[in-house]
Chain A
Amino acid sequence: MRRRLCIQEKVLGVSRFIAALFTIVLCFSGPASAIDAELWGKPLSFMGIIKQGVSYGIAGDQYDTQKGIQSLLTQIVLETKYDPNPDTSFFLSGKFNADQAYPVLSGNNEWREKGFDKSRNHLYILDDWQDVLGEAHGTWKKDDFYFRVGKQLVRWGETDGFRLMDQINPLDSRRGITDVEYENTIIPTWLVRAEYRPPTRPDWMQDLNYQFIFNPNPKFRGNEGILTGNERMGIWAPMVDIPLGGAYPLDYAHLGESISNIEKPSDFSTDGFAYAGRITANIWDARISLNGYYGRSLDYVSRATGAAVASTSRYDNRLILSPFYEGYYPYFKFVGATFTKDITSLRADFLGSVSPVLRLETFYAFNSTFVNSSSEYVKHDEFRGATGMDWKVKVPLLNEKSYFSISPQIYLQKIMNYPSERYALSGSGLYENNWTTTLMLSTSYFHTKLQPSFFWSRDWTNQSGFCRYQLIWEHSNTWKYTLGALVVAGDKVGQGYEPLEHKDHVYFNVAYKF
């Protein structure tokens, strides 16, 4: 009886989803483009994206995931831009981000027994005004100076997927690692940005640009990371088992939501200010930047402070332990550089005669804060570096019209003066040398409408990783359909991606853009 009820609820959920999609299709049938209007005789444009997705869990019956339909993400982004004169512009964007799985699966027993329904307050609709308001900024240009003030995005670095120097805006991982398009996961921040392009330069240099960023810390916000506990993180909660040594149900406990006291800099307080500077130029046809950053880290450090609160899971009667943590956002200071160049000497005719573009990004951070295995805050310098290549090769047997794009990357995080005891920083999940690689492959067929891609990320230090297989059908410049699958694997318990091992799922998205 209970099973039949679940099926009925699931069918009802899918029906609602299909109905919602159908409504969107009806409302926006036919090609469209940005809506252009005028305000006081000057151009005003509106743009937007409406996207509905569904993901289907394929990891089987696990405590930390939902079988079958597990997520129904609705995302709406509306943007408007106003240009009162060629040197001034204003931009405003708003977002609606909701997971319809919460109302649709609210009556589902599996969903409730695993405690996913308890994360509804956090994850059903991201309705904090800071989430609803996307970017909101004004831009002024005066001669060789350029200013932008407001809630904005500033991206640094040359690496895809890893955030090395890209530390100015926090990252939002509340919807997991692949459910949301990457561009929508960066959280705009209130910043003052000033740039200066000196008019005279030597012959061998061009596009010289000085950039200065000041974060006045009107409201501190760090990365929205993947937190523990089904009741906090929903279907993206990591699976962390705490051995208890007894017989079932006391063989192990589930790690629940952390009860954390994370200290943040208060609004507009000077200790929350951040300063960043960058110089970029093209020198002898290579693009180079020098970067420096001083401010709070976007990731907090934390340590356990006492006994955990226990409750019992309705799913398997095991204990759920919710530990107490305290922590803070430490200072983060680095100097770094990037280098990009077209390496013409590596152009090979038999591969299609496209030369690769080499990308390097590296920084050295001073006195970064970590937690050691004794729950102490310790400071070490660290080096982070990544190199990648963007290469296109021709494989006529597989695709006679388009190239295959191949982008491999390798990333190293090295902790300087690493403690002699092995795993001394295991609280941070970090070793002395931490290696990760990624590989992105993509191509296109049918007049670039069909775009298959494959992405593989491997954390070699923690022997874990994930693969994403994706197929995009770009029906028109307004309608886009995406079908994909994510498969996660890990060998070291509790390390790297292993706690996300049950997050395997397939997903399908429909996006309408105007």
Chain B
Amino acid sequence: MVCFAAAFIIGLCLQPASWAYDPPDPKTYIPTFMDIERAKKFYEDPRSVYAGPLSIKNRLPKEFYEKLLFPIEEMKKEWAEAVGFKAPDVVGKKAPEIKPGKYTYKDLEKYPAFKELFWPIMYSRIKPGGPPFAGSIPDFEIIPTQQFYHSLPVSQYTKENASKIRTDGKGYLNPESWEGGFPFPKPAGKFKALQVMYNVEKRYSSWDSSFLIFQSVHGYRKDLSRDFDGAIQVRSLKLTRRLAVEPYGRLDERAMKRGEVRTFVMDYLKPRDSIGTAMSALYYTDPGKSDLLMVYVPSLRRIRMLTSSDSQDPIQGQDLIYDDNDGFLQKLSSTRFPYEWKIVEETEYLAPVFDGTEYVTKKGLEYHNLKFMRRPIYVIEGRQLDKNYVYSKRIFYVDRETFMFYAVMNYDQKQRLYRTFEAGFKFEPEMGVFHSGGSSNLLKDHIDIHSCILLSYDIPAFWKRKDISLEQYLGAK
């Protein structure tokens, strides 16, 4: 009886301790945009933005930082069990004569097998810089393949919940049956390609989408002169299936009741025309339900509601549409702009891996210090079944081990290559987290001949709902 009472009291004491962890207010540790611009300049700067005082470890309060760390070996083991293999065990079979080491564009002639080891759009970039596109790579390094993994909670939820997933006759996921983690860690069967794309759609990155990101965007005409200089900051908050810090699962009752997945608020720091423009979005699990989008237009001094179905118009100054945000922001649906997905190839490619020391030259807009790693890759093709959609086809290069994707090629309705998105990720080995901070995304418009380079700084931030409310956010400005 005494033991029971003691256990009950201890339980009462422990329960709040484990469930009531209140992450620190991000506003107490996030840097300013100026801090970031000082830590790494946009051009000719090989410093990693995370090397000094802006490192995640230095910025985050100690207790909070430690909550984001997990034993590396355990993460490796759990994730290998979840997906059923380790990348180093499955690569090295294609063009084995190409070994880790430093190379230049001249080596493409010496080693014709490079053409097989780079996907076509990447292969076309291995050259000295010059018009018409930014992002040429005159020299690079190949580093040995390592095992990548996700954090312990992501691995555990993936393993635990994969068996609970239910799909319809066309392979589409019943959203209610997904309780967190990657829904299809071992894609297989008739709907394998669609399963991979579900993993892409529900990918866990950037501390489970709970972060603050500063992003600088430069746009270039076909003569590589700059025509756009923009910057944004985004506060993002995951609302359900949360796996970054406890409490896992839902943020609150309301998120569950209303089927809310994620919310964010972003604002423009430049260019001048856009300064003060702030946008908020609330995403729902149900692909048939319209997301709630609102924008504050400073020239009008008003908040305006937007329709989330307006997702195909070009975003000013950049080489993407709303659906291309983060590379792919569409919800998989059997009714609204459905795709027919197929796996074109399961192969290995040299994929870029970023450590933050990469840099872009001002002249020629070349990338230097870029590292590549042999990675197991799914090449997935999605044929759009609705002719009214802006793209007729999308081709994804998806990492088989992590379900992060490195590139998306989008074709217009005339089957011409229209826009490409080449993503960069930085991997935090002690956290099992991929994020875009310290890396670089390259966007291209192959019809209007325009390119954009995006540099980011990303930091974990567990916001409260009120921090993401547009009204509240504007009030803080």
- A interface residues with partner B (beta carbon < 8 Å): 31, 33-34, 36, 38, 43, 47-49, 86-87, 89, 139, 141, 144, 146, 153-155, 157-158, 160, 181-183, 186, 195, 197, 199, 203, 206-207, 209, 280, 282, 285, 287, 340-342, 344, 347, 349-350, 352-357, 390, 392, 394, 396, 400-403, 444, 446-449, 474-478, 513-514
Contacts and interface: CB of A to CB of B under 8 A. Distances in A.
A280 B309 contact: no
In this complex, which of B253, B272, B388, B447 has the most chain A Cβ atoms within 10 angstroms of its Cβ? B272
A444 B314 contact: yes
A496 B37 CA distance: 54
A448 B314 contact: yes
B271 A155 contact: no
A183 B300 CA distance: 6
B388 A394 contact: yes
B305 A197 contact: no
In this complex, which of B312, B412, B445 has the most chain A Cβ atoms within 10 angstroms of its Cβ? B312
A35 B472 CA distance: 27
B362 interface: no
B409 to A, nearest CB: 17
A69 B309 CA distance: 45
Given A34-B272, A34-B275, 8 more contacts: A36-B34, A141-B475, A141-B476, A203-B258, A396-B413, A447-B319, A448-B317, A477-B273
In this complex, which of A89, A182, A446, A447 has the most chain B Cβ atoms within 10 angstroms of its Cβ? A447
In this complex, which of A203, A206, A287, A390 has the most chain B Cβ atoms within 10 angstroms of its Cβ? A206
Contacts of A392: 310, 313
A348 to B, nearest CB: 9
Minimum-distance CB pairs A-B, first 3: A477-B271, A146-B475, A155-B301
20 contacts: A33-B271, A36-B34, A155-B302, A160-B300, A197-B469, A203-B257, A203-B258, A282-B294, A341-B305, A342-B290, A349-B386, A355-B290, A400-B412, A400-B413, A402-B313, A447-B319, A449-B227, A476-B226, A477-B270, A513-B273
B305 A342 contact: yes
Given A139-B477, A197-B475, A477-B227, A206 B309 contact: no
Nearest to B218: A31
B167 interface: no
Contacts of A36: 34, 37
Given A86-B27, A352-B388, A476-B228, A203 B309 contact: no
Given A33-B270, A38-B34, A353-B337, A447 B466 contact: no
Nearest to A147: B475
B309 A477 contact: no
Nearest to B336: A353
A352 B312 contact: yes
A33 B229 contact: yes
A227 B95 CA distance: 81
Given A155-B302, A285-B290, A285-B292, A280 B313 contact: no
Given A43-B34, A444-B314, A353 B388 contact: yes
Nearest to B305: A340
B272 A477 contact: yes
Contacts of B303: 280, 287
A287 B470 CA distance: 12
Contacts of B302: 155, 157-158
Interface of B: 27, 32-34, 37, 226-230, 253-254, 257-258, 270-273, 275, 282, 290, 292, 294, 299-310, 312-317, 319, 336-337, 386, 388-390, 412-413, 445, 447-448, 450, 466, 469-472, 475-477
A350 B388 contact: yes
Contacts, number: 158
Nearest to B274: A477
In this complex, which of B34, B305, B450 has the most chain A Cβ atoms within 10 angstroms of its Cβ? B305
Given A478-B271, A513-B271, A154 B445 contact: no
Contacts of A38: 34
B272 A195 contact: no
Contact of B388 (A349, A474, A475): A349
A344 B290 contact: yes
Nearest to A199: B466
Nearest to B418: A401
A49 B273 CA distance: 9
A199 B258 CA distance: 18
A396 B387 CA distance: 11
B307 to A, nearest CB: 4
A447 B314 contact: yes
A507 B138 CA distance: 48
A379 to B, nearest CB: 31
Nearest to B464: A199
Contacts of B301: 153-155, 186
A356 B290 CA distance: 12
A355 B310 CA distance: 7
B450 A447 contact: yes
A357 B257 contact: no
A340 B254 CA distance: 23
A160 B299 CA distance: 12
A354 B307 contact: yes
Contacts of B228: 476-477
B305 A403 contact: no
A477 B229 contact: yes
A280 B471 contact: yes
Contact of A31 (B229, B305, B309): B229
Nearest to A480: B273
B469 A347 contact: no
A141 B37 CA distance: 27
Given A153-B301, A155-B300, A197 B466 contact: yes
Contacts of A48: 272
Contact of B272 (A47, A139, A155): A47
Contacts of B389: 353
Contacts of A352: 312, 388
Nearest to A32: B229
A375 to B, nearest CB: 38
A389 B241 CA distance: 36
A353 B338 CA distance: 13
Given A197-B466, A357-B306, A402-B314, A209 B230 contact: no
Contact of B469 (A33, A206, A350, A513): A206
B476 A43 contact: no
B472 A342 contact: no
Contacts of B413: 396, 400
A206 B252 CA distance: 14
A47 B275 contact: yes
B272 A49 contact: yes
Nearest to A47: B272
A235 B292 CA distance: 46
A182 B272 CA distance: 17
A354 B226 CA distance: 32
A207 B469 contact: yes
A207 B470 contact: yes
B475 A34 contact: no
Contacts of B336: 353
Given A155-B300, A394-B388, A34 B270 contact: yes
A347 B309 contact: yes
Contacts of A186: 301
B285 to A, nearest CB: 15
Contact of B471 (A209, A340, A355, A477): A209
Contact of A287 (B271, B305, B316): B305
